[in-house]
Amino acid sequence: MAGAANVELVAVSKRYGSTVAVDGVDLRIPAGSYCCLLGPSGCGKTSTLRMISGHEEVSDGDILLGSRNITDLAPAKRSTAMMFQSYALFPHLDCVDNVAFSLTMKGVGRATRRKRAMELLARLHMDGFADRLPGQLSGGQQQRVALARALITDPSVLLLDEPLSALDPFLRLQVREELKVLQAQLGITFIHVTHSQEEAMALASLVVVMNQGRIEQVGEPQAVFNRPASVFVARFIGGYNLLPARGDDQAGAIAMPGGAPPGDAHVAVRADRIRLAAAPPQPGHGACEATGLVKTIEYLGLMVKVGVEIDDGLRLSVMLPEERYLAHPVALGMRVSAAWARDDMHVMTH
Amino acid sequence: MESVHRSLIGRNGAPPLERSAASRRSRRRRFALAPYLQIAPLAATLLVFLVVPIAAVIAVSFWDYDTARLIPAFIFTNYHDLLVDPITWDTYLQTISVAFLTWALTLAIGFTVAYFLAFHVRSKAWQTVLFLVCTVPFWTSNIIRMIAWIPFLGRNGLLNQALLHFGLIRQPLEFLLFSNFAVVLAYVHLFTLFMVVPIFNSMMRIDRALLEAARDLGASGRQSLWHVIIPLTKPGIAIGTIFILTIVMGDFVTVSVMSGGQRASVALMMVNAMSLLQYPAAAANAVVLLAIVLGIVGALVRIVDIRKEL
């Protein structure tokens, strides 16, 4: 393997005509990290990945890999390898020839390249399918072949474009684990584009949340989850209740201890930090509590999700561990009070 | 069938054993008839317009004839006369070589045009416009398109005059018209589109991500063409080849017009035989030609799987 390398994006932009897909992105991905570019569709994450791979021209800025500026290099000269969303396996070639394709292009002899390809296939437990055509493989098997084909080029960075989206949910979890194990074994940098926050949390050592062509937040999964930098991030990664903040006595909002911050502020409260209790009938809510009616109950197995409509129309989602729910069950239409610790409130002004 | 039958009975609520054997049989027969009725129109059409004519040609090829009559018989004389005649072999060779040349040229041109349309023209609108431009020659009849070449290629035609005028030649070029050159040129002009369409169709089905993957894996443009595009375009090439071969092998109009009657083709042989009322001889020739063309197409289909294009 060529060894891991830092990837650095310096003020990288991508424009298509007058639309800006990626807007002056600065990002440093340390060598050997598993980086997930996370965001809704159209946020610029795929464009960013494709610029790193060299399949999309950079409109502005520079991309560095290690100490080399790779901004204008051909895709195959960057020591990056791309795994395409639909895997893009050559339908007319069997697995060995698919994996050996880059060696064929380099003019490596048939025996040598087949041997190397078989090694890679064996590493991904696909050596038993060597002479199958891609059309005869399942989605998960195709994905392994695509991985082997990308890895045979000895990349220092592997680029994965929504690699799990074509798999069924059960297989997705299994392959997700395998990807992480593989990355740890290889020690090279993985850059993985996804719109699933769950996937990003599970895989990444570095999460990059993007929105409208810009980076909203970069950090370890735990940091991003516990300290979302913006309302968008809190909303996108989920698990938070976002309530409009207000000064005293304003309806349809949450009162802020010590007065409301200026502008359009929100309070974020983690859904699993809220406690529910049977409430006295009088309406109203204070800084760290609110009363309302239970509107929905979803049993999710480990957790039970309870939707509470607070008296002035706000909605709260509460995640209760099954155990606690069973100890203090609530019922639809029941009047409850929801309370949380002051430390579990985050104020966000953007 | 059985399961359908059972479930129907089950839905009626009556146990199968209480049903009489007769009613069960009639039910089964009604279900068995439906698929045959459904394929009947197509089968009838093929029978009337394909099977019967070919059967008639094959039957007549074994008949006897004299100057005025066809005599029903079962003789091999027609085939014998055909196959021992050296002219037959020359004519077949001539037709096959012209067909091969036409195929090679239409393939080269057709592939290039299709490649340009499929991979270089990015917008759908331009693709459609340029594709329509390719069909412009088809707005007039074959004969007119052929005859239009004559004043251009003739001994005192435009091309010769221009070449003489610029001093590039001293004598008018004789091979331009009424020659194999003219025949092949007319074929290429008339039929290249039949090569463009299936190849273009194949190319449009190639996932563009495959070309990116090839580039990502270090393939140059030429390597992508050779290792990805051409293999994936093979079915289209095969279909275009079948079009061109079948048209050219069975043609006699273009040959007689463009060669000025100086070149033969297998189909012209048949026309001549028929004009002498030697229908059985023409039929025998037709059967031989059919066998050869079917053999070529069969070999092609064995090499290339064209089913996924159909």
- Mind listing the pLDDT tens digit for each residue in A238-269? 888 888 776 544 444 565 555 555 566 788 88
Considering only CB atoms, B209 lies closest to which of A54, A84, A102, namely A84
Instruction: Please give the single-letter amino acid code of residue A327.
Output: A
A96 & A159 share domain: yes
Best of B207, B208, B215, B217 to disrupt the A interface by mutation (most A CBs within 10 Å)? B217
Predicted local distance difference test score (pLDDT) of residue B305: 79
Q: Which residues of B touch A106 (CB under 8 A)?
A: 218
In a domain, A231, yes or no: no
Considering only CB atoms, A105 lies closest to which of B209, B212, B219, namely B219
A51 & A98 share domain: yes
Considering only CB atoms, B207 lies closest to which of A88, A106, A149, namely A88
ipTM greater than cut 0.90: no
Across the beta sheet with A60-65, the strand order is A19-29, A7-16, A60-65, A68-69
CA–CA min distance B221, chain A (Å):
11
Does any CB of chain B come closer than 8 Å to the CB of residue A149? Answer: yes
Question: What CATH number corresponds to the domain at position A133?
Answer: 3.40.50.300
In a domain, A328, yes or no: yes
A54 & A191 share domain: yes
CB A247 within 8 A of CB A259: yes
Q: What is the mean pLDDT of chain A?
A: 87
Predicted local distance difference test score (pLDDT) of residue B51: 96
Instruction: Find where tokens 């026309």 sit.
Output: B271
Q: Do A84 and B213 touch (CB under 8 A)?
A: yes
Mean of pLDDT values over A87-98: 94
DSSP letter (8 states) at residue A256: P
User: What residues does each domain of chain B span?
Assistant: 2-60, 78-309
Query: For the ranges A38-42, A346-350, B17-21, B104-108, which has the lowest average pLDDT?
Result: B17-21
In a domain, A54, yes or no: yes
| Residue A107: count of CB within 10 angstroms of its CB | 8
Give the CA angle between residues A27, A143, A88 to the nearest 5°.
80
Work out how many domains chain A is built from and give that number: 2
A185 & A253 share domain: no
Helix axis angle, B279-303 relative to B266-275, nearest 10°?
Answer: 160
Residue B84 tokens, joined: 């021992």
A169 & A294 share domain: no
Predicted local distance difference test score (pLDDT) of residue B211: 94
* Mean pLDDT for back-to-back runs of 10 residues, chain B (310 residues): 40 46 57 86 95 95 88 91 92 94 96 94 89 84 86 86 87 84 92 93 93 94 95 94 94 88 88 91 94 93 76
Helix axis angle, B124-135 relative to B180-204, nearest 10°?
Answer: 160
Q: Do A82 and B231 touch (CB under 8 A)?
A: no
CA–CA min distance A103, chain B (Å):
8
Across A214-228, A270-284, B167-181, which has the greatest mean pLDDT? A214-228
Question: What CATH number corresponds to the domain at position A289?
Answer: 2.40.50.100
What is the C-alpha separation between A83 and B191, in angstroms, rounded? 42
- Specify the higher pLDDT residue, A60 or A285: A60
Residue A126 tokens, joined: 């696909």
In a domain, A232, yes or no: no
In a domain, A192, yes or no: yes
Residues 46-85 of A with CB under 8 A from B: 53-55, 74-76, 81-82, 84-85
CA–CA min distance A75, chain B (Å):
5
DSSP letter (8 states) at residue A91: T
Task: Measure Cα distances from A195 to A166, A201, A222, B55 in Å.
Answer: 13, 11, 18, 64
Give the helix/strand (H/E) hosting A237: helix A231-237
CA end-to-end distance (rounded Å), chain B: 29
Q: What percentage of chain A has pLDDT greater than the value 70?
A: 91
User: What DSSP string describes A113-180?
Assistant: HHHHHHHHHHHTT-GGGTT--GGGS-HHHHHHHHHHHHHTT--SEEEEESTTTTS-HHHHHHHHHHHH
Give the helix/strand (H/E) hosting A103: helix A101-106
Give the CA angle between residues A197, A198, A202 to the nearest 5°.
115
Residue A165 tokens, joined: 């989206």
Q: Do B210 and A90 touch (CB under 8 A)?
A: yes
What is the C-alpha separation between B190 and B184, in angstroms, rounded? 10
Q: Which residues of B touch A163 (CB under 8 A)?
A: none
In a domain, A2, yes or no: no
Q: Do A75 and B227 touch (CB under 8 A)?
A: no
Residue A74 has pLDDT above 50, yes or no: yes
In a domain, A337, yes or no: yes
DSSP letter (8 states) at residue A283: -
User: What DSSP string describes chain B?
Assistant: -HHHHHHHHHHHT--GGGS-HHHHHHHHHHHHHHHHHHHHHHHHHHIIIIIHHHHHHHHHTT-EE-SS-EE----SHHHHHHHH-HHHHHHHHHHHHHHHHHHHHHHHHHHHHHHIIIII--SHHHHHHHHHHHHGGGGS-HHHHHHTHHHHHSTTSHHHHHHHHTTS-SS--STTSSSHHHHHHHHHHHHHHHHHHHHHHHHHTS-HHHHHHHHHTT--HHHHIIIIIHHHHHHHHHHHHHHHHHHHHT--HHHHHHTTT-S--HHHHHHHHHHTT-HHHHHHHHHHHHHHHHHHHHHHHHHS--GGG-
A252 & A212 share domain: no
- Specify the higher pLDDT residue, B13 or A120: A120
Give the helix/strand (H/E) hosting A37: strand A34-38
In a domain, A248, yes or no: yes
Give the residue from chain A lying closest to B221, CA to CA: A105
A210 & A254 share domain: no
CA–CA min distance A307, chain B (Å):
44
Helix (H, G, I), strand (E, B) or coil at A325: helix
Helix (H, G, I), strand (E, B) or coil at A45: helix
Helix (H, G, I), strand (E, B) or coil at A217: strand
Give the residue from chain B lying closest to A146, CA to CA: B213
Q: Which residues of A touch B212 (CB under 8 A)?
A: 55, 75, 82, 84, 88
Residue A8 bridge partners (DSSP): A28, A64
Q: Do B207 and A104 touch (CB under 8 A)?
A: no
CB A43 within 8 A of CB A212: yes
Show the domain range for A271.
239-348
Answer CATH for B78-309 from 3.10.290.10, 1.10.3720.10, 3.40.50.2000, 3.40.1190.10: 1.10.3720.10
What is the C-alpha separation between B275 and B85, in angstroms, rounded? 19
Predicted local distance difference test score (pLDDT) of residue A95: 95
The length of chain A is 350
Helix (H, G, I), strand (E, B) or coil at A344: helix
Q: pLDDT band for position A305 (50/70/90)?
A: very high
What is the C-alpha separation between A276 and A340, in angstroms, rounded? 9
Predicted local distance difference test score (pLDDT) of residue B11: 43
Q: Do B227 and A85 touch (CB under 8 A)?
A: no
Give the helix/strand (H/E) hosting A316: strand A315-321
Q: How many CB pairs under 8 A join A and B?
A: 60
Give the residue from chain A lying closest to B233, CA to CA: A92
What is the C-alpha separation between A12 and A23, in angstroms, rounded? 7
Mean of pLDDT values over A95-106: 95
Give the helix/strand (H/E) hosting A190: strand A189-194
Q: Do A101 and B217 touch (CB under 8 A)?
A: yes
Report pTM: 0.80
